[in-house]
Structure 1
Amino acid sequence: MRRTARFFSFNKPSDWGAGTAANLNIRQEGVSIERTEKYSVYRTVQAGEIDGADAVTDFAVGPGSKLYVLDAKASLWVHDYENRHTEPLYSPGHRLFSNHSMLAAEGDSLYIVDTVGERRIVSVSPSNGQLLWAVQEWGGLELFPLAVAVDDNRNLYTAVPLDVRPEASGGPDIPAGGRIAVLQWNASGEAVQLYEHEPLRLEQSAPIEALRNRFFLAIAGSGEPVLLDADAKNAVVFRKDGSVRDEFAVDREGTFAGLTVDSARGLYIGDSGRGESAQDERFILKYSERGEFLTVVSGYRSRADKLLHDGIDRMYALDLEKGTITLLDLQTRTMTMADTGLPEAWYVSAELDSAEDETEWHKVELLAAIPEETQIRISYFATDEKFGVLDGSVVDYSDYFADPDIPLTRKWTASRHLWSEPIVNPRDALLMNAKGRYLRFRIELAGSDRSAPVIHRLRMWFPRQSPIVHLPPIYQEDPDGTAFLERFLAMFGTFIEEMEQKIDTVSSNFDPDAVSGPYLKWLGGWLALDIADGWDEGKLRTLMKQAPELYRLRGTRRGLARLLQIYTGVEPHIVEHHQLKAMQETSEMRQMFNRLYGDNPYGFCVMLPPECVRSDKQRLIVEAIIADQKPAYADGKLIVLQPWMHADMHTYLGINTVLSEPTLLTLDQQSSMPHHTVLIDPDRDKRMDIHTRLELDSELE
């Protein structure tokens, strides 16, 4: 007697959860190697691409694909790197700021900060270069900005020294112990917040000129400044209220420059390469907002003198040595496994119990997406015993493979003699020599740097169901020939099983709730629902379920109203010509009704609110429904009601027009006037035909 085929299915995260995995990402959509986003070079902007520009000294990121670039001649350029178009904003010789200036931009605001110019902080319009506001001092203190950043709300932040000796020999300097703070400016140029931290002091005096490129500023979140002292290798993260959230040391080798923060509050610090670092060891370092070192941005291995992020988390790195601005884009990459260092993942299943000794397991069926240069390898072993010898000891297989303290590589080595030869990229493969009550399988997913295979579903079938049993006994007598014939017939067996499964489930194709997409439209074609072309699936299912009743009501007012309600979700108002006869007593009324509803005695109007007919496509569908459902001799007209009150138009009280209660006339937030107040001119009272009201302001003697 032929036994019913059964299977263990793995197609939900809970199915995979019983096994042991390494570097495996289990999601509802499928199982794959863990993926991560890494920065890679998207584009490099060379100084030569900016027509007329000298060596690049600073830059800021504008809207779209625009960059504001400052060169060694103090010229300011607007460069569109996508379209390779450049326009000058300030040409050489303007004397508004020097080539040592620092730039910051957000939206339609551009800020220029200069430690040596007449105007220390300037806000200009990037469209025409018009000066919006400028400041030179704050609270009587001359400003010497050392770093600059801007937040999403166009608030500007500048790192400034609070203790300056302007008359020192050789120019202004900061004495030993001099404080460094962060000043916040709003979009109007007003200083609104001061961020201080006691340890932010210079250990020894230094001229202002020597502090250039020592301090770097970035904004976390929507307004939390982060200040980096590159020489002291120390960073401070402030809260919005001015208090200190975190402080951490950059405990890495190198000479650092540049600071930026992404939308997930990750901190990036660049390596300017001004120390002993070799050219090939320069990386951008990534820290958490708490100062924990996370990783290096291996996609960029060059000098970084300034770092910026834009609104889509694209990172920009300035290399002053090469005069280039490099754009780094986040790209999804396959993660490597810690044990092997390769882009792969391993999985070992829990035991699959057939509940019967000496079960012959049939086949593995795999539904997966396997890109080029990737691979899926499946091995298995079956046994009637729960215990075995591994590493010279008797172990429980379940406990051994689930033990997290035993490295996977050790498990592979110790159990190598148990597993079958791997089946590579199986779609439907027989499990040869798999005999036993318990079955375990292991999966090795091998990916590439940018892609990885995804398993959507896996099934292990049992017991063995081979078409060879239907052949004469002579074909089953030779063991060697039987094995080959069994594998050969398995291809046809799979085809036959799929056909039988389709036949068993064919009834579900006629259930509107069980099908979707093209099959749902195909099923609708059986009911001649031509008017439903362009309907969404939910409305189409409702229409198909009510189709028998709607066919009985076709050509009636009730049937038209129900069909329109299914499509629009609103019950329409239908006005027929015979309903208006009693109101057409005068010629004036008759003319108005003819204009509004037409003069065809077999005509009718369907009125719907505007939210039901928002597009031309919706209007066409509604008109098609009316034309399909009306009697052949009748004339149907669609009227879209507007929310108004106009005499002699389609104005219906309670439908598209509402009369509200009288309200007060509000003059300002503290004064109002009742609705029944009459304004008059008292100086002109008691005159005939002018504000004359008997017994109120006038009397007859």
Structure 2
Amino acid sequence: MVGSEIKFLTINTAALWAEGLLEGTEIAGESLRLKSFHTHRYAGACGEIGAPAAFALARCGLIYVIDKRTGGLAVYDSAAGSYSRLAPLPTGRLRDIAAGDANLYLLDDERVYALARVNHQIRWEAPAPGAAALALGRDENLYLFDPAGAQVLKTGRGGAVSILIEGLDSPKNFCCGWDGFLYVLSGEAVLRFSIEGALLEKIAVSPPADLKPCCLGVDRDGTLYFGGRDQEGFPYRLDRSGRWERLGYRGAVSQLAVNAGGDLYLLALEPEHLQGQIVLLERVENYAGEGVYTSKWFDSADIGCRWHRFVLEADIPDNTQVLVSYCTGDVPDDLAAVFSQEVINPADALITCAGGRYIRFRFRFLSKNAASTPRVKSMKVYFPRLSYLRYLPAVYQESEPGKDFLERFLSIAETLFSDLEDKIEAITGYLDPAAVPEGFLPWLSSWLAVTRYDRWPAPKIRALLSRAPRLYQQRGTREGLEAMIALYLSRVSENGLVVDDSAAKPIIVETFQVRAGASGDDAVWGDLFGTDPYSFCVLLKPEQAPTGQDLNAVKRIVEFEKPAYTRAGVKVLQPWFFLEWHTYLELNTYLTGQGFVLGRSALSRDTSIVEVEEGGEVEVRARVGVDTALT
């Protein structure tokens, strides 16, 4: 078939899908699927963790617990299933806890404390009379809930406490959402505040009869969760549409928290066999059983056009179906247009209805498995009808029933050849580094003999292939090695393109350069750069190789690209000062102003007080594979 004779229209982006009518379906990424919703499934209690009075979730998965039997602090590792008590703390009877990335925050009857998570040393403490609960927001902003004073307090970095919100109406509880805002359960509403204390939204709350809210939480979608102390009641979810949904657990709850994945943790008061346990309700993603999508009207710009066929690109799991029908007409929104018989799970199908300038499609999605959904990625409709029948003698076209059968019979071969023609037309895309599909990058790399870098990120492989002719001309030279390392160390923009960055260029020191400018002790220079006249050293700034994987990648580049007769080393400069070691001004060492001298220094002018952790900071001060080895 001649390519210029046939035309097609397509839907293959989220914007194009959005032009149709969605009923029980939704757009996810660039594809169409059944409408999703989530539920929470009871997953049991979180092991033996004492008798928790309150708990806090850390982002790393640890659960910090206040044990009401001992009055002390304990930690539960949900991944390992281990529970351990921490050393006694010089605090009063603990009431609540919050866990940040660097600190733990504890509240007793009179004071609030900030403890370093690494060694549990107290960083600061401040008076907090009347405070009943803690909540931790972004950037470790700590908030204190004072129901008796009808207010919310906020602490500064050093523990200074100030009033953030006051004049609340019968406040019951509060929490910080994943969106960074503060939510307060006050009277018959949930109030959403900014971190500056400005009221942003008032959400009316009319709970079901079996819920008397006493605690709340918020997930990443802005969905609210409520728990109550009624032993016959249920925790509930309130979505943005105002719909209440009962969760899969029955009993009284004194505290709830939502982790980053949407899982719900409840501190159970009832039933008896779960009393005093932390219960996990796992978030489960489900899909509707049926949904319909009706496309916009496609316009062929030809009255009475005979539409030829449509092609569907879709993922259809077991126990799911996509049923496709269509209708045509010479005017859009034709009320008399009747949809055709449905075609089940079509990949390529002929259009057999009468002609018309316009055509529209209807997709019906079915799923017997709530955990799976069919996904339609794209659809193409071809026109006008130009089948292989026109190449046969006229006698084969005289009988209408025979003509219809032959058209459908010949369409089998036509589909195969059309697909081949499309692939042939698109073959140039497989030879273009910017357009080749990611799965074919290794194949194209083999043509240019750069398969040794197949573990690079895809955008950097594309950039390497496009620059390969020039890099081959420079191979074995200092400039070529610099260009290869700079390419790997360059950052990738949001649109997937490699950004040429002069900061990614390494420092290459050759032995003859050292000897030409060396002075002083030759042994020191030999320790730093070696004594082999055919050797060189590649120096990387601290930020250029933050992980051992980056360092190993640069070492591989140096090994493959250096001249065969030379020796080379790669060194990551450390961000601190050492005499007789790799210390270079303006690279990893900077001279500053006057240091701190008692009686002659002023804070904030020539002296700064900073916080430096001495341990527990793997990949911060100690980078595994770069300057630290695990033994």
- TM-score, normalized by length of structure 2? 0.70
Is 1:503 the counterpart of 2:452? The answer is: no
Q: Distance in 2 between matches of 1:658 and 1:318?
A: 51
Matches within 5 A, 1:419-458: 419-447=339-367, 449-458=370-379
Give yes or no for contact 1:19–1:350 (8 Å, CA) kept in 2.
Answer: yes
Shift of 1:498: 1.3
**Alignment correspondent of 1:300:** 248
**Alignment correspondent of 2:611:** none
Q: 1:589 to 1:184 in 2, by over 3 A?
A: closer
Q: Distance in 2 between matches of 1:109 and 1:520?
A: 50
Give yes or no for contact 1:89–1:126 (8 Å, CA) kept in 2.
Answer: no
Shift of 1:156: 3.9
Shift of 1:397: 2.2
Is 1:105 the counterpart of 2:97? The answer is: yes
Q: Distance in 2 between matches of 1:243 and 1:558?
A: 57
Of residues 286, 291, 305, the one that matches 2:238 is 286
**Alignment correspondent of 2:569:** 638
Q: Distance in 2 between matches of 1:597 and 1:22?
A: 69
- TM-score, normalized by length of structure 1? 0.64
Is 1:328 the counterpart of 2:281? The answer is: yes
**Alignment correspondent of 2:602:** 669
**Alignment correspondent of 1:350:** 296
Matches within 5 A, 1:263-662: 263=219, 266-270=223-227, 272-273=229-230, 282=234, 284=236, 286=238, 294-300=242-248, 302-312=250-260, 313-317=262-266, 320-323=269-272, 324=274, 325-334=278-287, 343-383=289-329, 385-386=330-331, 397=333, 418-447=338-367, 449-471=370-392, 475-476=396-397, 478-529=399-450, 532-555=453-476, 559-560=480-481, 562-563=483-484, 565-567=486-488, 569-570=504-505, 572-573=507-508, 575=510, 577=512, 603-611=534-542, 622=554, 625=557, 628=560, 634-638=565-569, 640=571, 642=573
Q: 1:80 to 1:641 in 2, by over 3 A?
A: closer
SS in structure 2 at match of 1:294: coil
Q: Which one-letter code corresponds to 1:668 in the other structure?
A: S
Deviates more, 1:244-253 or 1:349-358: 244-253
**Alignment correspondent of 2:5:** 4
Matches within 5 A, 1:119-198: 148=133, 150-152=135-137, 153=141, 155-160=143-148, 181-182=150-151, 184=153, 193=163, 197=167
Shift of 1:134: 12
SS in structure 2 at match of 1:397: coil
Aligned length: 562
Q: Which structure has the larger Rg over C-alpha atoms?
A: 1
Shift of 1:515: 1.4
Identity across the alignment (%):
24
Q: 1:196 to 1:582 in 2, by over 3 A?
A: closer
Give yes or no for contact 1:302–1:319 (8 Å, CA) kept in 2.
Answer: no
Q: Which one-letter code corresponds to 1:284 in the other structure?
A: Y
SS in structure 1 at match of 2:362: strand
Shift of 1:8: 0.9
1:131-152 alpha-carbon deviations (Å, 9 max, x no partner): 99999996xxxx7x9x645445
Q: 1:317 to 1:361 in 2, by over 3 A?
A: same
RMSD: 5.2
Is 1:262 the counterpart of 2:210? The answer is: no
Q: Which runs of 5+ in 2 are unaligned?
A: 490-503, 607-631
**Alignment correspondent of 1:170:** none
Shift of 1:10: 0.6
Give yes or no for contact 2:185–2:216 (8 Å, CA) kept in 1.
Answer: no
1:384-417 alpha-carbon deviations (Å, 9 max, x no partner): x32xxxxxxxxx726x6xxxxxxxxxxxxxx6x7
Q: Distance in 2 between matches of 1:567 and 1:24?
A: 42
Shift of 1:352: 2.0
Q: Distance in 2 between matches of 1:422 and 1:80?
A: 55
Q: Distance in 2 between matches of 1:519 and 1:319?
A: 54
Give yes or no for contact 2:41–2:284 (8 Å, CA) kept in 1.
Answer: no
Shift of 1:576: 6.4
